[in-house]
Amino acid sequence: MGKQYLVTGAAGFIGAAVAQKLLEFGNKVITIDNLFTGKLERVPENVELIEGSVFDKQVIDKLNGRCFDAIIHIAGQSSGEVSFENPVYDLQTNCQSTLLLLDYAQKTGCKKFLYASTMSVYGDHTPPECSESTELLPKSFYAVGKLASEHYMRIYSQQFDMACTALRLFNTYGVGQNMSNLKQGMASIYLAMAINRHIITVKGSKDRFRDFVYIDDVVDAFLKALARERGYDSFNICTGRAITVEQVIKTITSRLPGPINVTYTDGTPGDQFGIYGNNSKAKDSIDWEPHWMFEDGMDKMIKWAVISAQPGSSEKELG
Ligand SMILES: NC(=O)c1ccc[n+]([C@@H]2O[C@H](COP(=O)([O-])OP(=O)(O)OC[C@H]3O[C@@H](n4cnc5c(N)ncnc54)[C@H](O)[C@@H]3O)[C@@H](O)[C@H]2O)c1
């Protein structure tokens, strides 16, 4: 028989994809989303939507004490840049929300809690490969809030015998990504600029690099992590491969009709120069590994984005 899950943020890129997959396996999914960066039309059909902010206790109360097989907390503001523009909002959205949902889980007897954490908790390192035991040196308010959420989960897990799992997502990209948010998502930002304006404006150095992980692999990581039965743990969800800004831009411009001009401006506060992840722990502990190569994922994403940008196309059908 299907299970019942709360997946926050199901009007957004990652939350919608996770919710969709859970539905395909015959489960029931409820979401809370304030449509801040998400879109109503992206919420998968048959997902029950509670529209409102996940850091508002009155909104969480609308769950009416329902007990979930797991709470998968994905809603969040995901831009380091925005966290400097509005640190209090960032803290409320990414951390206060976690605390309220953990409290709800504990009071309703929910024993599994999954969280969309981030590679940003590491900051910058030399050498740049980070495993889960690498020192955590957050450089942005965004990363501080995410890391605080991890600690709340760790303590809840110890105090209340809940299985809490933080997935430290590296740069997630792919079909369904928000192409109108130009403050989050390196691949989606450059791609949207290239398609819509034929100009890519890069904030920071072309030598910066990221570890890009395709959305289908990220969804798979959430499903695999659901099997954890007890304790707190965190996992890098990454490929272990560094891709520079310059490589991202070449991948995009070589697949689109030109010319596309590329200009460089100053970087944004708290931006990491570059790290990539070691994913051995996820392989060993939750049997997860990535399957998508960056070039293949970008091929698929670019084709989708080009069709989506055409007048009259339905992003939902394409996504
Ligand atoms: N995309 C990435 O590369 C990446 C990497 C690491 C971590 N993450 C984390 O994954 C999560 C999802 O990211 P995404 O790329 O899908 O972003 P997204 O913007 O597409 O989705 C976020 C969703 O959360 C909703 N939301 C935002 N604030 C909310 C609030 N206060 N209450 C209720 N809903 C709210 C938005 O409306 C949106 O639907 C975020 O928490 C982000 O920090 C993303």
What is the per-residue pLDDT for 86?
A: 96
Identity of the residue numbered 271: D
Mutate to test the pocket of ligand 1, among 18, 20, 29, 33 (most ligand atoms within 8 A of CB): 33
The residue whose CA has the least distance to atom 24 of ligand 1 is 75
User: 13 φ, ψ to 5°?
Assistant: -60, -60
Measured in Å, residue 160 CA sits from the centre of ligand 1 at: 27
Q: Which atom of ligand 1 is nearest to the CA of 120?
A: 6
What residues flank ligand 1, with Cβ below 6 Å? 9, 11-15, 32-38, 53-55, 74-78, 93, 116, 118, 169, 171-172, 178, 185
- pLDDT class for 314, splitting at 50, 70, 90? low
> Residues with Cβ < 8 Å from 187, sequence gap 6 or more?
171, 173, 177, 212, 248, 252, 298, 301
For the chain, list the domains and their CATH numbers: 4-318 (3.40.50.720)
Q: Which atom of ligand 1 is nearest to the CA of 14?
A: 16
Asked whether residue 180 carries a pLDDT value surpassing 50, the answer given is: yes
Q: Which of 113, 123, 157 is nearest to 273 (CA)?
A: 123
Encode pLDDT of 205-216 as tens digits: 999 999 999 999
Q: Is residue 130 a contact partner of residue 278, using CB atoms and an 8 Å limit? A: yes
Q: What is the pTM of this model?
A: 0.97
Measured in Å, residue 12 CA sits from the centre of ligand 1 at: 6
Encode pLDDT of 119-155 as tens digits: 999 999 999 999 999 999 999 999 999 999 999 999 9
What is the per-residue pLDDT for 108?
A: 98
What is the per-residue pLDDT for 317?
A: 40
Asked whether residue 313 carries a pLDDT value surpassing 80, the answer given is: no
